[in-house]
Amino acid sequence: MLLALWELGSRFGLIPERVLAAPSTVAETFWALTVSGELPANLLVSLARAAAGLAIALAVAVSLGLLAGLSRWGETVVDPLMQIKRTIPSLALTPLFIVWFGIGETPKIALIAVATTFPIYLNLFAGVRGIDVRLVEAARSFGLSGWSLVREVILPGALPSFFVGLRYALGVSVLVLVVAEQINAQAGLGHLINNARDFMRTDIIVVCLLVYALLGLGADALVRTLERRALAWRPSLVEQ
Amino acid sequence: MVQPRIRRRAFDTAAVPAVAPSASPSIAPAVKLNGFVRQFGENRVIDGLDLSIAPGEFVALLGASGSGKTTLLRTLAGLDPVGDQDVTTPSTRAVVFQDARLLPWKKVWRNVALGLKDKDVRARAEAALKEVGLGHRLDAWPSTLSGGEAQRTALARALVREPGLLLLDEPFAALDALTRLKMHDLVLNLWNEHRPAVLLVTHDVDEAISLADRVLVLNKGRIAAEEHIALERPRAPDARFQAIRRRLLGHLGVEAPASHEGALIAFPTGEAVQ
Ligand SMILES: Nc1ncnc2c1ncn2[C@@H]1O[C@H](COP(=O)(O)OP(=O)(O)OP(=O)(O)O)[C@@H](O)[C@H]1O
Ligand SMILES: [Mg+2]
């Protein structure tokens, strides 16, 4: 309905091409960009950035989350730092990162990593702390200790909470990607958008926006699938 | 670490009498506490307690709520620090808690195999689960088990280690009366089979008398009373049973009511599981 109105508006010149391209034009552009390989190539670059940032965030957040979750001194050392970090909006670090890391790939990946670390850390920490101590005790009474206790009891117990954090982090990573790619990108979706802006190609801009939205949805679907696999043991409140 | 199997030195399994002999001084006790003390802050829960359990002996522990039964059991399980006090227990101990405490993210057989390190753990877990009548639920998730099934899984998990001491903390309290009686039979059969020393914590005087060789009453941090139950198993609630029951209730400070559970106690024993 909205789409039809939009199409009609464009056809009759109510919505000028400069303001917003017609849906049909957008579809055509989407097809053209895909066939020419321009969209897939740039998408791949963006995905690689997000993946690199997330990988760093995962490694850091899981280490810190476990450290803080499993020991009192770990909590004393790590948690205040993370809470301070939380109060600084990650995107506000952009200028600083540009000064530190220049305008290449590093600041983009660093921004994504920094922004996604906290949600993963926080949820993992809460998950570890929220574990049922009676289960831990039972496992200890059957001879589990140290790393095997962490692997068999604490990590699986914290997993549901971890997934909440991961889902949130994936959403944030797309958001940060948009901003980070405004930094002099030579490739990637942001680069595509910047070029389109310079040539006032609203059709390309809309295509990129759609792809961003699809990325968000795709990320969510990915985590849901992982969750269903890893948490098969959980009786669900709602029938699948 | 390979769990050492406890050799059954003290008893010949094939010739186990229906009534186990009480601790004879020539056999080194499986459990020994001398003047044991445990306190939380100012609250001295266990206060100079002496306890000795022979290998293969089935002991039931009664006591009012808050009298320290769980505290004692946790000490014997090695879950609480004992400081420099002398606590003798077998090296292999296994606990069945009131709530089954199965790990919900592990299939039933993996719960039973928890912490075992040999290569044929699956086979051992399977055998143990068959023994408790759960051979068909090996690959089920714990959340899909009934209360009785969960408790039997917990029992299998304890027995698969061939413990020298089996610690049961009100394992049947949450079960309905009929399931509880089936569990009693199961526990007796398993005990006859594996011959661990058993400490059963319970609130149920009838349960204690129908299962144990010896019933202890915990009060004010010590063993306040002791009854040897020299009755043949299975035990019917006959006059001797009732006499013991009255004495124990007296020790617990309860006026003995006329037994209303006679019909339940007389439930036929045998292969009632399943
Ligand atoms: N970790 C603890 N910290 C402080 N006090 C404790 C702790 N554990 C037990 N207690 C106290 O020790 C006393 C004995 O507790 P315990 O759990 O051993 O009782 P119980 O005989 O098992 O009771 P119930 O039959 O209700 O299970 C109680 O007064 C309890 O409040
Ligand atoms: Mg208790």
Stretch (H or E) spanning A156: helix A155-180
Task: Look at B103 and A141 and tell me if their CB atoms are within 8 Å.
Answer: no
Using alpha carbons only, what angle is made at residue A12 by residues A11 and A17, rounded to the nearest 5 degrees? 60
Measured CA to CA in angstroms, residue A122 lies from A65, A88, A150, A157, A166 at distances of 7, 15, 18, 15, 10
pLDDT band (50, 70, 90) for residue B15: very low
Distance CA B197, CA B234 (A): 19
Residue B26 — pLDDT band, cuts 50, 70, 90?
low
What distance in Å separates the CA atoms of residue A196 and residue B5, rounded to the nearest whole number? 74
CATH code for position A175: 1.10.3720.10
The per-residue pLDDT for B4 is 44
pLDDT for the residue B25: 53
In a domain, A183, yes or no: yes
A234's tokens: 């959980």
Reported ipTM: 0.77
Provide the pLDDT for residue A128.
95
Q: What are phi and psi of A62, to 5 degrees?
A: -70, -40
**Domain range enclosing A49:** 22-229
- Per residue in B205-232, pLDDT tens? 999 999 999 999 999 999 999 999 999 8
- Tokens 């091409």 label which residue? A17
| Shortest distance, CA A227 to any CA of chain B (angstroms) | 13
Question: What CA–CA distance (Å, rounded) separates B274 from B133?
Answer: 6
pLDDT at position B175, please? 86
pLDDT in tens, B104-118: 999 999 999 998 988
- Taking an 8 Å cut-off on Cβ atoms, the answer to whether A156 and B105 are in contact is yes
The burial of A220, by beta-carbon neighbours within 10 Å (0-12 exposed, 13-18 middle, 19 or more buried), is given as: middle
Q: Rounded to the nearest 10 degrees, what angle do helices A94-101 and A105-129 cross at?
A: 120
Residue predicted with more confidence, A22 or B20: A22
- CATH class of the domain comprising B1-92+164-274: alpha beta
Would you say the CB of residue B45 lies under 6 angstroms from ligand 1?
A: yes
| SS3 category, B199 | strand
d(CA B70, ligand 2 centre) in Å: 4
A 10 A CB-CB count for A235 gives 9
A-chain residues near B101 (CB < 8 A): 134-135, 137-138
What's the pLDDT score for residue A197? 84
Which residue has a Cα nearest atom 9 of ligand 1?
A: B71
Q: How far apart are CA B180 and CA B204, in angstroms?
A: 11
Domain boundaries, chain B: 1-92+164-274, 103-161
Q: How far is the CA of B5 from the centre of ligand 1 (A)?
A: 32
Q: How far apart are CA A224 and CA A145, in angstroms?
A: 31
Q: Is residue A33 part of a domain?
A: yes
High-pLDDT (> 90) share of chain B, %: 66
Residue B74 has pLDDT above 80, yes or no: yes
Do residue B106 and residue A159 have CB atoms under 8 angstroms apart?
no
Q: Are the beta carbons of A192 and A208 closer than 8 angstroms?
A: yes
Residue A152: list chain B partners with CB under 8 A: 103, 106, 114
A54 within some domain: yes
Of A196, A188, A212, the C-alpha closest to A39 is: A188
Q: What are phi and psi of B52, to 5 degrees?
A: -140, 130
pLDDT digits 0-9 by tens, B149-191: 999 999 999 999 999 999 999 999 888 888 889 899 999 999 9
pLDDT at A34: 83
Q: Which residues of chain A have pLDDT under 70?
A: 18, 239-240
Instruction: State how many domains chain A has.
Output: 1
From CA A114, how far away is CA A137, in angstroms rounded? 36
C-alpha span between B268 and A208 (Å, rounded): 76
State the average pLDDT for chain B.
Answer: 84
Cβ contacts of residue A142 below 8 Å, gap of 6+? Answer: B94, B114, B115, B157, B161
Q: Is 60 exceeded by the pLDDT of residue B194?
A: yes
Q: Is the pLDDT of residue B10 over 80?
A: no
Distance (Å) from CA A136 to ligand 2 centroid: 18
Alpha helices in B212-274 (DSSP H): 239-251, 262-265
CA nearest neighbour of B39 among B221, B266, B241: B221
Q: Compute the distance between CA of residue B150 and CA of residue B99 in angstroms, rounded to an integer.
A: 9
**3-class secondary structure, B55:** coil
Assess contact for B125 and B109: CB atoms under 8 A.
Answer: yes
